Amino acid sequence: MLTLHTAGLLVPGTGVEPLPGGAVALDGGTVAAVGPYEELADAYPQARTRRWAGVLTPGLVHLGAGPLLAHAYHPDPREADALGTDPLAGDALDALVLDDPRWGGSA
């Protein structure tokens, strides 16, 4: 699923100027594009958008992220009314019906 990740400030990497209102287009695990959110939203109208507070930076590695993602469901912003915005685990996670696309969208 194509997803646009955007924040108030995008720091694309070393040697690249920070981009206020920037975004990263991800197609699965592949970076498809980086640029101003408006341009990427026009280029990828079918993409869902995830808006993050603060600064968006690529390339950070969290070695403990695998178990966290495997044992908790992070609701998509479109599910906030029904599920809230906090990660779900334990009984709340067990009560959800999760197909592969929905589970993958959680990350």
pLDDT tens-digit profile of 2-53?
A: 999 999 999 887 788 899 999 999 998 889 999 999 999 999 999 999 999 8
Answer for the pair 88, 96: CB distance below 8 angstroms, yes or no. Answer: yes
Model pTM? 0.56
Burial classification of residue 106, based on how many CB atoms lie within 10 Å of its CB (0-12 exposed, 13-18 middle, 19 or more buried): middle
Q: Which pLDDT score is estimated for 60?
A: 64
Answer for the pair 32, 26: CB distance below 8 angstroms, yes or no. Answer: yes
What contacts 88, CB < 8 A, 6 or more positions away?
72, 73, 74, 75, 96
pLDDT tens-digit profile of 51-103?
A: 998 888 866 666 766 776 677 888 888 888 988 888 888 888 889 888 887 77
Domains of the chain are 2-56 (2.30.40.10), 65-106 (no CATH)
